[in-house]
Amino acid sequence: MSDAARIQLLSPRLANQIAAGEVVERPASVIKELLENSLDSGARRVEVDVEQGGVKLLRVRDDGSGIAADDLPLALARHATSKIRDLEDLERVMSMGFRGEALASISSVSRLTLTSRTADAEQAWQVETEGRDMQPRVQPAAHPVGTSVEVRDLFFNTPARRKFLRAEKTEFDHLQEVIRRLALARFDVAFHLRHNGKNILALHEATDAISQARRVASVCGSAFLEQALPIEIERNGLHLWGWVGLPTFSRSQADLQYFYVNGRMVRDKLVAHAVRQAYRDVLFNGRHPTFVLFLEIDPALVDVNVHPTKHEVRFRDSRMVHDFLYGTLHRALGEVRPEDQLAAPATMSDMARPSGMAAGEFGPQGEIGLAAAVLETPPGAPTWRAPMGGYQAPRPSSGLPASESAGAYREYFSPLGEAAPAALPEAQGDIPPLGYALAQLKGVYVLAENRLGLVLVDMHAAHERIMYERLKVAMASEGLSGQPLLVPESLALSEREADCAEEHAEWFRRLGFELQRLGPETLAIRQIPALLKQAEANRLVRDVLADLMEYGTSDRIQAHLNELLATMACHGAVRANRRLTLPEMNALLRDMEHTERSGQCNHGRPTWTQLAMDDLDKLFLRGR
Regarding predicted confidence, which is higher, 392 or 335? 335
Residue 3 domain flag: no
Domain end marker among 375, 399, 425:
375
In a shared domain, residues 53 and 89: yes
Categorize the per-residue pLDDT at 576 as very low, low, confident or very high, splitting at 50, 70 and 90: confident
Q: DSSP secondary structure string, 398-420?
A: TTS---THHHHHHHHH-TTSPPP
CB atoms within 10 A of CB 351: 15
In a shared domain, residues 269 and 309: yes
Q: Which of 200, 192, 199, 196 is nearest to 47 (CA)?
A: 192
- pLDDT over threshold 50, residue 418: no
In a shared domain, residues 416 and 511: yes
- pLDDT over threshold 70, residue 590: yes
- % residues pLDDT > 90 (the chain): 37
Domain end marker among 375, 395, 428:
375
**How large is the angle between the packed helices 537-551 and 556-572, nearest 10 degrees?**
120
From 37-46, 130-139, 188-197, 364-373, the region with the lowest mean pLDDT: 364-373
Contact 66, 146 (CB under 8 A): yes
Categorize the per-residue pLDDT at 308 as very low, low, confident or very high, splitting at 50, 70 and 90: low
Residue 251 domain flag: yes
In a shared domain, residues 194 and 213: no
Contact 184, 260 (CB under 8 A): yes
Regarding predicted confidence, which is higher, 74 or 450? 450
Task: Name the pairing type of β-strands 291-296 and 257-261.
Answer: parallel
One-letter amino acid identity for 572?
A: G
- What span, in angstroms and rounded, lies between the C-alpha atoms of 453 and 433? 11
Contact 49, 72 (CB under 8 A): no
Contact 354, 310 (CB under 8 A): no
In a shared domain, residues 30 and 176: yes
In a shared domain, residues 177 and 223: no
Count of the separate structural domains present in the chain: 3
Domain end marker among 203, 226, 251:
203
pLDDT average, residue stretch 588-600: 91
Residue 443 domain flag: yes
CB atoms within 10 A of CB 335: 24
In a shared domain, residues 74 and 128: yes
- What span, in angstroms and rounded, lies between the C-alpha atoms of 119 and 122? 8
Residue 391 domain flag: no
Residue 382 domain flag: no
What is the CB-side half-sphere exposure of residue 473 using CA atoms within 13 A?
A: 15
Regarding predicted confidence, which is higher, 155 or 76? 155
Regarding predicted confidence, which is higher, 157 or 433? 433
- Name residue 124's beta-bridge partners: 141
Contact 386, 353 (CB under 8 A): yes
Regarding predicted confidence, which is higher, 308 or 474? 474
Categorize the per-residue pLDDT at 86 as very low, low, confident or very high, splitting at 50, 70 and 90: low
Residue 248's pLDDT is: 81
In a shared domain, residues 315 and 300: yes
CATH code for position 230? 3.30.230.10
In a shared domain, residues 199 and 248: no
Residue 194 domain flag: yes
- What span, in angstroms and rounded, lies between the C-alpha atoms of 446 and 430? 20
CATH code for position 132? 3.30.565.10
Instruction: Compute the mean pLDDT over every residue in the chain, rounded to the nearest whole number.
Output: 78
From 71-85, 138-152, 539-553, the region with the lowest mean pLDDT: 71-85
- What span, in angstroms and rounded, lies between the C-alpha atoms of 174 and 179? 9
3-state helix, strand, coil in the chain (%, to 5): 40, 20, 40
Residue 51 domain flag: yes
CA triple 116-120-125, angle to 5 deg: 25
Categorize the per-residue pLDDT at 104 as very low, low, confident or very high, splitting at 50, 70 and 90: confident
Sequence-distant (6+) residues with CB within 8 A of 596 are: 334, 335, 360, 363, 364, 365, 469
Sequence-distant (6+) residues with CB within 8 A of 98 are: 81, 83, 84, 89, 90, 304, 305
Regarding predicted confidence, which is higher, 573 or 409? 573
In a shared domain, residues 77 and 140: yes
- pLDDT over threshold 80, residue 295: yes
- % residues pLDDT > 70 (the chain): 74
- What span, in angstroms and rounded, lies between the C-alpha atoms of 123 and 72? 14
Phi, psi of 146 (to 5 degrees): 135, -165
Task: Report pLDDT digits (tens) over 503-553.
Answer: 888 878 876 789 999 999 999 999 887 766 666 778 878 887 887 777 666
Task: Report pLDDT digits (tens) over 458-479.
Answer: 999 999 898 888 878 877 776 6
Task: Report pLDDT digits (tens) over 120-134.
Answer: 999 999 998 876 555
One-letter amino acid identity for 132?
A: R
- pLDDT over threshold 50, residue 362: no
Contact 37, 128 (CB under 8 A): no
pLDDT average, residue stretch 46-55: 95
Contact 324, 240 (CB under 8 A): yes
CATH code for position 419? 3.30.1370.100
Residue 186's pLDDT is: 93
Residue 592 burial by CB count (10 A; 0-12/13-18/19+): exposed, middle or buried?
buried
Task: Report pLDDT digits (tens) over 366-403.
Answer: 233 323 332 333 334 333 332 322 222 222 333 333 33
Write out the residue range of the structural domain in which residue 328 sits. Answer: 209-375
In a shared domain, residues 243 and 316: yes
Sequence-distant (6+) residues with CB within 8 A of 304 are: 93, 98, 261, 264, 310, 313
In a shared domain, residues 144 and 163: yes
Categorize the per-residue pLDDT at 84 as very low, low, confident or very high, splitting at 50, 70 and 90: very low
Residue 92 burial by CB count (10 A; 0-12/13-18/19+): exposed, middle or buried?
exposed
- What span, in angstroms and rounded, lies between the C-alpha atoms of 42 and 59? 18
- What span, in angstroms and rounded, lies between the C-alpha atoms of 540 and 111? 57
Residue 209's pLDDT is: 87
Residue 91's pLDDT is: 53
Residue 621 domain flag: yes
